[in-house]
Amino acid sequence: MTTTVKQSLNPPLKWAGGKRWLVPILRELLGDKTYNRLVEPFVGGMAIALGLLPEKALLNDINPHLINFYKSLQRGLKIDIPLENDKDCYYQYRDRFNQLIKAGQGNTKNAAELFYFLNRSAYNGLVRFNSKGEFNVPFGQYKTINYATDFTNYIPLLKDWVFSSQDFSMLSLEEGDLIYADPPYDVEFTRYSATDFKWEDQIRLAEWLATSKETVIVSNQATERVIDLYTRLGFEITLLEGPRRIACNGDRKPAKEILAFKGL
């Protein structure tokens, strides 16, 4: 996998379960192996792609609002709406964002601006939608928020990356791809988009990855059934202590995570 020589940038969004901490581990795991593209079925906060800096990438996510934001970055997003760390402003913008979704305008620049603001201002940077497809995270009540308004510096990095929003099983893989999958974790909260990601989907993903002839790396919560699933499908398993970014009970102790891989 050829990497760019351009300077890396930080992920533009706050992201629950972000994987910046995993980048050095993946680099060591991959060594000097070369790949055609980086393929991420669940791109999330884009920390892995921005850390590994592949020249070519296929970055997918089932959340169309996230992908609309990334496509806006490719076009050189500049935010024109006022960004205020204010509760009234937050709920006004949240209502506006949900109105755009309802009106079929969730793929607009305005929707991308509002998505960024909501992500930076919402409680713990959560991205959560109800069954109606409405963003429903409450205001975060941060003392200060450092908003960005000019994202044109992302244009060179994202120039040759392809973004899509579809079910992972619909992705067209190519010979020599490196697949990194970071699905919604095997935990109680799974409604990251309007559609849920249930245990049946975890099984479907694992079986889809197992049939791929390409190199595959998967991260997930190290629950007993996740470990059993990937072991049964012939993956090599490594257990890691990942930083616990969000805990309702205040518990921030390291969380056990699984790194499953094949083809290395």
Per residue in 148-163, pLDDT (tens digit) is 999 999 999 999 999 9
Report the pLDDT averaged over residues 96-125.
96
Considering the chain, what is the average pLDDT of its residues?
90
Domain 79-149 belongs in CATH node 1.10.1020.10: yes
* Whether the predicted pLDDT of 125 surpasses 70: yes
Report the pLDDT averaged over residues 8-17.
89
CATH 3.40.50.150 domain span(s) along the chain? 20-63+158-262
Report the pLDDT averaged over residues 22-50.
94
pTM: 0.90
Residue 173 CA to residue 232 CA, distance in Å, equals 24
Q: Which residues contact 146 (CB under 8 A, 6 or more apart)?
A: none
Q: 23-52: b or e for each residue (b if 16 or more CB lie within 10 Å)? A: beebeeebeeeebbbbbbbbbbbbbbbbbb
Write down the pLDDT at residue 36.
92
Report the pLDDT averaged over residues 10-35.
91
CATH 1.10.1020.10 domain span(s) along the chain? 79-149
Write down the pLDDT at residue 248.
47
Looking at the domain 20-63+158-262, which fold is it?
Rossmann fold (3.40.50)
Q: Are 112 and 96 spatial neighbours (Cβ–Cβ below 8 Å)?
A: no
Write down the pLDDT at residue 171.
97
Q: Are 129 and 120 spatial neighbours (Cβ–Cβ below 8 Å)?
A: no
DSSP element (H, E) containing 59: strand 57-60
